[in-house]
Structure 1
Amino acid sequence: MGLTIEKTVRSDHMDVLKNIVSICCQNDSKKYSFFYEEDDSYLFGHPGFFYFSDDSNNILGFICLSGIDMQNFDVCGFVLPAYRNNGIFSQLLTAVKEEYKNINLSFPLPAHCKNAAEVLRKNNFRYSDTECKMSLNLKNLIIYPSEFDIDITESGKGAQQCAFFKDDFFVGSCSITLINDSYCILSEVEIIKKYRGLGLGAHLINCLLGYLDEINIDKIILHVTKSNIPAFRLYQSMGFVVDSSLDYYCLNL
C-alpha cells in the first residue's frame, strides 16, 4: 500500500470517493456530508485531493480540501472501515501538511468520531468550536403578536432578505432560503450592534416566525455555534432543538 496524490480528479474517481462515503455511512449508521466536486481537485496551484491506494490502485481512504479563499480551507476525509486503525488517516494528514504552507485548515467532525478526533489532535489540530443544526416545527406553535415590523425583499430564486423595524427604526435583519413550500433555512440573523443586549432578539425571532407561519412554512432550520451563547440560548428559548452538531478542529500551517 502507498500514498498517491492526485492533482486531477477523474469522474470515475469521484464516483469511488462518493461510494467510500456511502460505505462509511452504512458501517457507522450515520449520515455524513460530502459536497466536494471535481472543481476542487486543484486549489491555487496545489492538489485538492489526497488518496491512499493499495498496490492494485484501489482507493482505501482520502482527504479533500475546499478553498474558502487562498488562506482558509475546509477539510474532509474518510477511510474505508476495513482499513481503519492502520495509520492511513495520519499519513494523509501528513501529506496535506507537507503540501500546504501558511494556510488555515478547518476540519468539521461529527461528535461521535472519537478516533478521528484523536488523530486530528495528534496532528496538532485543536478544537475550535461546535456548530449546531437546530430546527423548529411551526405546526401547533403559539405565535404571539410582534412589536416589530418586517420588510421582505426577494434576493434571488427562493431567497429573501428580511429587515426588521421597531417604531420605524431599523433594528436587525436575516436571510431566508426557501427549500420548498414548507421548509426553509435561516442565516445571518442579526440585531444591529447598538440594539444588542436589550432583549430584542426574541421579538425579532417572534416577528420572523409570524411571517413564516403566514406563508405556510412548517419547518425551520438554522445553524449556530455553541460559543455564541446568547444566540444559542435564545433559539432554545424560542423552541428550537438541536438535531445534530459538528465539532470544528483547526490547524494553522
Structure 2
Amino acid sequence: MGHPLFDIGGRTALVTGASRGIGLALARGLREAGCTVVLNGRDRDRLDEAAARLGDDVRTAAFDVTDGASVEAGIADVEERIGPLDILVNNAGMQLRAPLLEFADADWHRVLDTNLTGAFLVGRAAARRMTERGHGKIVNICSLQSEVVRPGIAPYAAAKGALKMLTKGMCAEWGPLGVQVNGLGPGYIETELTRPLVEDEEFGAWVRGRTPAGRWGRTEDLVGGVLFLASPAADFVGGQILYVDGGMTSVL
C-alpha cells in the first residue's frame, strides 16, 4: 500500500494540452494514481485518439485555452458532465524559435497567449469553483526557462518567467481559500516537439554535458512531481516551482 499522504484516488483531474508529449504523460500518471482524468486540447480527433491510448475511462474536453469564452464554457461543461475538478494541470504551451530582432508581433502574441494567458484563463475558471468548495490543487507547467534562457527563445522565457510569478500570485490569492497552486519546471525533455533538438548531435551533447544527471529527461521523469503537488502531501506547499531538470539550474 502507498502512503495515504500521496493518495489521490477518486479525484477528478483536468490536464490542458494533453493530446501528446508532457501533457499526455502527466495525464497517464494521474490516471494510474486513480484519478478520473480529463484531457483538454483544441483538436477533437487528436484528443479522442490520445484518450483511447490511455484507456476507455479517460474523458476529453475540447476547448481553446487562449479564448476566455471557450474556457468558461469548457470548464462549466467538465464540471457538469464529469464532476467537480479537484486537480488542474495547466500544461498547454507552445514554442517558436527566432532571433528577438526578427520576432514577429503575431508570433510574440501567440507565445504569450498560449503559455501565459491560457494558464490565467483556465486557472481562473477552475479556481472560481475550487475556492467556493474550499479545496483544490493547481499545477502550472513552468520551465527551466522560467529561470534561464538561450538565444532564440526570449519570448518563451518571458512567458514562462511570468508564469512562475502568476503561480505565486495565484498562491497569494487562492491559498487562503483552500487551493494550493504550485509549478513544475521541466528541463530538457525528450518529446515529439524536442526530437529535432535531441537528434542535433551538438545540441544533444551540450544538454548531456550541462546536466548533472548526464541525460535528457523523459516525460515519465515529470510524473512524480505532479503526483506530489496534486496530493495531500503538498497541502502546506504553495507558490513553489519544483524544477525537474536533472540538476541543470544548479550548476554552471
- TM-score normalised according to structure 1 size: 0.30
- Structure 1 or 2: larger strand share? 1
Please identify the structure whose Cα radius of gyration is greater. 1
- Structure 1 or 2: larger helix share? 2
